[in-house]
Copies of this chain bind each other. A is one copy, B any other.
Amino acid sequence: MIWYNDLNDGIILSTRIRLARNLDKTPFPAILKKDEKEKITETLSDSIMKSNSTLSKDFKLYNLNEMSPVEKTAMAEEHLISLEMIKSNDGAVLVNTDKTMSIMLMEEDHIRLQIIKGGYCLDEAFDLADKVDNVMEESLTYAFDEKFGYLTACPTNVGTGLRASVMMHLPALVMTGNITRVLQSFSGVGIAVRGLYGEGTDAEGALYQISNSVTLGLSETEIIEKLKTVVERISEMEKQAREYLMKNRADDLKDKLMRSYGILKYAVKITSKEAKNKLSEVMLAQNMGIIESDGKMTPLELIVRTAPSVISGEESLTPDERDKKRAEFIKENL
Residues of chain A touching chain B, judged by Cβ–Cβ distance below 8 Å, are: 251-252, 254-255, 258-259, 261-269, 320, 324, 327
> Which residues of chain B come closer than 8 Å to A251, judged between CB atoms?
268-269, 320, 324
Cβ contacts under 8 Å, A269 to chain B: 251-252, 255
User: What distance in Å separates the Cβ of A303 from its nearest Cβ neighbour in chain B?
Assistant: 19
Which residues of chain B come closer than 8 Å to A324, judged between CB atoms?
A: 251
A259 touches B255 (CB 8 A): no
| Bound CA span A320–B249, Å | 12
| Complex contact B254–A258 (CB within 8 A) | no
Identify 12 residue pairs between A and B in the complex whose beta-carbon atoms are under 8 Å apart, listed by A's number. A251-B320, A251-B324, A252-B269, A258-B267, A259-B263, A259-B268, A262-B262, A262-B263, A262-B264, A262-B266, A262-B267, A263-B263
A331 to chain B: closest CB distance in Å?
10
Q: Looking at chain A's contact residues, is the secondary structure mostly helix, strand, loop, or mixed?
A: helix
> Given A251-B320, A251-B324, A320-B251 in contact, is the A265-B268 Cβ separation under 8 Å?
no
* Complex CA–CA separation, A22 to B259 (angstroms): 52
> For A268, what are the chain B residues with a Cβ–Cβ distance below 8 Å?
251, 254-255, 258-259
Residues of B within 8 A of A266 (CB): 258-259, 261-262, 265
Q: Closest B residue to A256 by CB, please name it.
A: B268
- Chain B residues near A252 (CB, 8 Å)? 269
Task: Report the bound CA distance from A266 to B258 in whole Å.
Answer: 5
Cα separation A255 to B326 with both chains bound (whole Å): 13
Q: Which residues of B contact A265 (CB under 8 A)?
A: 262, 265-266
Give Cα A268–Cα B255 distance, bound, in whole angstroms: 4
Which of A254, A255, A263, A266 has the most CB atoms of chain B within a 10 A radius of its CB? A266
Contact of A259 among B254, B267, B320 (CB under 8 A): B267
Given contacts A254-B268, A258-B268, 20 further A-B contacts (CB under 8 A): A251-B268, A251-B320, A251-B324, A252-B269, A255-B267, A255-B268, A255-B327, A258-B266, A258-B267, A259-B262, A259-B263, A259-B266, A259-B268, A261-B266, A262-B262, A262-B266, A262-B267, A263-B263, A265-B265, A265-B266
Q: Most chain-B Cβ atoms within 10 A of its Cβ — which of A252, A262, A263?
A: A262
**How long is the Cα–Cα vector from A40 to B331 in the complex, in angstroms?**
63
- Point out the residues of chain B lying under 8 angstroms from A263, CB to CB: 259, 262-263
Shortest distance from the beta carbon of A148 to any chain B beta carbon, whole Å: 56
Nearest B residue to A267 via CB reads B259
CA distance A254 to B258 in the complex (A): 20
Write the chain B residue with the least CB distance to A268. B255
Residue of B nearest to A291 (CB): B266
A266 to B324, CA, bound (A): 21
User: In the complex the two chains form, what is the Cα distance from A264 to B251 in whole Å?
Assistant: 15
